[in-house]
Homo-oligomer: A and B are copies of this chain.
Amino acid sequence: MDSWNEVAKQLRVDSIRSTTKAGSGHPTSCLSAADLMAVLLVSHLRYDVAEPRALANDRLIFSKGHAAPLLYSMLKAAGAVSDAELMTLRRMGSPLEGHPVPVFPYVEVATGSLGQGLALAVGMALATQRLDRVDHRLWVLLGDSELAEGSVYESLEAAGFHGLKNITAILDMNRLGQRGFTMLGWDGDAYATRARAFGWDAVVIDGHDLAAIDGAYTAAENGSRPTLIVARTKKGAGVSFLEDHEGWHGRPLSRDEAARALAELGFASGAPSLVVRPSPREKSVSKPREAPAGLELPGYAPQSSVATRVAFGDALAALGAADLRIVALDGEVANSTYLDRFARAHPERFFEMYIAEQQMVSAAVGMQVLGYKPFAATFAAFLTRAFDQVRMGSLSRATLNLVGSHVGVSIGEDGPSQMGLEDLAMMRSVHGSVVLYPSCANATVKLTAQMVDRQGITYLRTTREKTPVLYSATEPFPIGGSKVLRRSGHDLAAIVAAGITVHEALKAHAELSERGIPTRVIDLYSVKPVDRPTLIEAARECPGGLLVVEDHHPEGGLADAVAEAFDGMRAPLLRRLAVRTMPGSATPEEQLRAAGIDARAIVEALFPIAERSAPLSAENGGDGRLGPA
């Protein structure tokens, strides 16, 4: 009890000192949770400070990431960081950022965008409970404002459904949000009722009653379901002029205010800090796993017709046999993305996340922290639902493979709500991402295989429709490369395409060739990074410039990627065919036509160039305008 109290005081003191030193931060959001975290650190958290990434460790995720100084203060109390390090909070170059990121070795997942911490824990628990049966506990500190986020309910739902009893969520119900009272205030029963409705155990306690906190943790540890501990707290607790006062969100104390607060807390400058090393769990010897099979990637006969989404499913099933760390997450569309082929082959490593894309992506981020290699797939359009989770994944320095199917207008009759037309823009804009968009089943296999061991966030865009197999099964597809599918010594223009438009480009090439107009066709399967040398060469060699054709809105996609390739130099004549109209329902062919990205549109776009740039061959000479548009 004494130790709880002393540690709690120190956490308060250090949260105030570090934020006052930094001149910014959220000290009052730390103070409300200080008692909760003191009891956790002293008596419940099983953690090896010397080996923070050990699988056996408990995890503590600050979903309310703005309370980061409290987390850092805990790590000081645990002997992991020095007081001097703590005082670098929010300074440039310090790993102690304003919100936690894995630059700091004791943080594995970034938080700070609210409502994501529980989802990360769900991912960890799903994987370790089913696959490695690790007996650790996942503690998640939640703020009450973030309980407004729908993503939290996706997590309550998933944890309840799967009975993830090793998750304990601690709700710091201080009732004061950034701009006033939260929706539910101090109505702890309302939160508890919600959690129970999703299959959780829930208890409401006084979050400043140390014995009650200890009791609640013990009960959670012994429970048979995930537990939500609703802790009624006061923002700024422990300091009279802060406690439960409005107007203190996100505001550090001035030096004078800090001095008053520290005096109230009984802080004596120069007195040694308490150190309470948490006791580690026993590192269980990993049980022997089934031996992986050899890798036999699927291959498809050139000129057969196979959808790239099918090739992805086949490839991942094969890769999963050879690498037992690969796991797959589905947004309840596995029969459309063809992730179901992985599910059939490796049912224990297939996670049905239902139609909850935010949870799906966060779960994948959580899983990769523990050494799994997640592939998450849904319709590209619905990945937009998880943009913030992907963005936060990049802050987590996550290795994350995302697959979006049903892209572009070429999906046909289902109409625009199902069409991925913004996904390239979204995924290109993610820091450090790789964006791949194969045109052929064999290319898809080769790119999927490379995703397995790539670091960082990789996005694979697959096509719903069957398309001809263009490449042999042995053709390499390096990330950052491209394929020049057609070329001559005197190409007038280059058609730059990816995915479905490669096939339209090839048709256009053939038609233009017949009319004596030589064109180059580039399959730009690697949208980010993009193959600059090949594009620059095409620009140099093709007097009519580059025509980019994409099944995507004109902004942020293939054309922008091509334009960026000419950063720092004069770009060639560059033209864009993209989806500029709002599509409706129609057949795939009609859609490509209506959007102006089919073979005919390419021919029409290049014909005038050809007329200007070179004489037509005698056979087609002069009269060669195409039929009615």
Smallest Cβ-Cβ distance to A589: which chain B residue: B92
- Interface residue from B429, B554, B586 paired with A92 (Cβ < 8 Å): B586
A492 to chain B, nearest CB (A): 15
Given A196-B197, A421-B431, A582-B431, check contact A179 B335 (CB 8 Å): yes
Q: Does A340 contact B (CB under 8 A)?
A: yes
**Would you give 5 A-B contacts (Cβ < 8 Å), ordered by A?**
A179-B335, A395-B416, A425-B555, A567-B574, A568-B574
A528 near B556 with CB under 8 A, answer no
Q: A151 at the A/B interface (Cβ < 8 Å)?
A: yes
- In the complex, A576→B569 CA distance in Å? 11
Q: Are B91 and A432 in contact (CB under 8 A)?
A: no
Interface centre among A99, A148, A197, A590, by most chain B C-beta atoms within 10 angstroms, is A148
Cβ–Cβ < 8 Å partners of A421 in chain B: 429, 431
A38 near B: Cβ within 8 Å?
no
From A4-12, A153-161, A440-448, A480-488, the one touching the partner chain is: A153-161
Q: Is A52 an interface residue (CB 8 A)?
A: no
Tell whether, in the assembled complex, residue A388 and residue B395 are in contact, meaning their CB atoms are under 8 Å apart.
Answer: no
Q: Is the CB of B145 within 8 A of A355?
A: yes
The answer to whether B575 touches A568, judged by C-beta atoms less than 8 angstroms apart, is: yes
A354 within 8 A of B: yes
Please tell me if the beta carbons of B146 and A355 are within 8 angstroms of each other in the complex.
yes
In chain B, what residue has the closest Cβ to A96? B585
Q: Which of A65, A101, A385, A576 has the most CB of B within 10 A?
A: A385
Q: How far is the CA of A148 from the CA of B97 in the complex (A)?
A: 34
Which of B113, B554, B561, B594 meets A417, CB within 8 Å?
Answer: B113
Interface string of A56-74 (1 = CB under 8 A from B): 0000000001000000000
Q: Chain B nearest CB: distance from A444 CB in Å? A: 21
Instruction: Please determine whether A150 and B425 come into contact, CB atoms closer than 8 angstroms.
Output: no
Chain A residues numbered 480-500 whose CB sits less than 8 Å from any CB in chain B: none
Interface set, chain A 30-69, CB cutoff 8 A to B: 65
Distance in angstroms from A624 CB to nearest chain B CB is 22
Residue of B with least CB distance to A156: B153
- Given A145-B354, A554-B564, A381 contacting B385 (CB threshold 8 A): no
From B182, B415, B575, contact of A567 by CB (8 A) = B575
